[in-house]
Structure 1
Amino acid sequence: MATLSRFSSAQQSPAEGHDSSHDGQHDFDFEAGTWKIHLKRLVHPLTGSKEWVEFDGTSATRKVWDGRAWLEEFETSGATGHVEGLTLRLYNPESHQWSLYWANSRNGILAQPTIGEFKNGVGEFFDQEPFNGRSIFVRYVWSEITPNSAHFEQSFSDDGGKTWEVNWITDQTRVGSDPTKK
């Protein structure tokens, strides 16, 4: 379980305790290429609902700026609709952290970033944002990373990070190599 202090540490400046020996610039190298996606999304987060919807689709991820940035194009469809979006990931060499920005085709707005880093093969990224008239914490977790698969979860907390409710689960299986490599 993540705590508020873990959330706060994701917002620290470089001098405030980050391991400067780890250059995280290559943390997202695993994601280069084309992936088959299976997405499960909780229909009504933070309401106690247990109703999930499922989608299948693809994503294509490529590096830019020699790996200091990554762009993922994401498209899935399911019985309840279509999700099309992109993620822009930017690496900060001073803090050794990533800022992850999401945008969907429905509204065309680049959301505020979740900020964090990888430790021991798991990436955790946090932000605070409005949701249904209240302020919540958001956590992204990348885990179970292999050369041909990866697992991603988004969670919300409305109690200051004491508890987290997973509301978005994506399992990825590689179907193609990095499109920037010839």
Structure 2
Amino acid sequence: MHAPAGLHRLLLASAISIPAAAQAAAATPLDASHDFDFEFGTWKTHVTRRLRPLTGSDQWVDLDGTSVVRKLLDGRANTVELDISGPSGRIAGVAMRLYDASARQWSIHYASRDAGQLTPPLFGRFKDGRGEFHGQDTLAGRSILVRFMITCATPDTCRFEQSYSDDDGQHWETNWIATDTRMREG
């Protein structure tokens, strides 16, 4: 039995429009305002840091301490208070993360205790459990790109990796690796 020609066109149009609609829905990111909710609390932090990034140096130092992540604005913003130290000294600072609902992405701003001003923001989002954020900054008077990635092996163990590029993103040099382990209260 053959269907009328009009029905074939309708079935064909439906077959084409369903995948197209599914693709459009998949391409539109969902509300991501709670992407950082997993991180609220206190974390033991181990940082491995390259001393002189983008100089050819491969000298690294280790620092240990804590990160305390606090929710603001019903989760649409949060702060990270970092306090780490080691033989190379102490690093203390605060990161402010803000969710832009219209762009469906986050911005990350950082201020160290010593500098007293915010760095240029990084922008990005989480996809498939991985956060990736990009921005521009300066290092030793030259313009660089910054990439910051977040992955969590478990709900209680996360890795934060920062890399710099001075050739428009053709090559990236990792300069900061932090492994955070959740501290249980009590």
Bucket of the pairwise TM-score, normalised by the shorter protein: 0.7 to 0.9
Instruction: Quote the RMSD (CA, aligned, Å).
Output: 1.3
Secondary structure of residue in 2 paired with 1:89:
strand
CA distance in 2, matches of 1:139, 1:145: 20
Percent identity between the aligned chains?
47
2:72–2:78 Cα contact (<8 Å) kept: yes
- Asked if 1:25 is matched to 2:20, the reply is no
CA distance in 2, matches of 1:112, 1:129: 6
Deviates more, 1:126-135 or 1:78-87: 126-135
Point out the structure with the larger helix share. Answer: 2
Secondary structure of residue in 2 paired with 1:66:
helix
- Asked if 1:85 is matched to 2:85, the reply is no
Residue 101 (structure 1) aligns with: 109
1:122-155 per-residue CA deviation (whole Å, 9 max, x = no partner) reads 1110111221121110000001342101000010
TM-score by length of 1: 0.84
For structure 2, which runs of at least 5 residues remain unmatched after alignment? 1-25
Structure with higher RCO (Cα < 8 A, 6+ apart):
1
TM-score by length of 2: 0.83
Secondary structure of residue in 1 paired with 2:38:
helix
Could you tell me which of 52, 64, 75 is aligned with 1:67? 75
Secondary structure of residue in 2 paired with 1:24:
coil
Rate the CA distance shift 1:125–1:138 in 2: closer, same or farther, 3 A: same
For structure 1, which runs of at least 5 residues remain unmatched after alignment? 1-17, 178-182
Which 4+ stretches in 1 moved above 6 angstroms? none
1:38-49 equivalences under 5 Å are 38-49=46-57
CA distance in 1, matches of 2:99, 2:27: 15
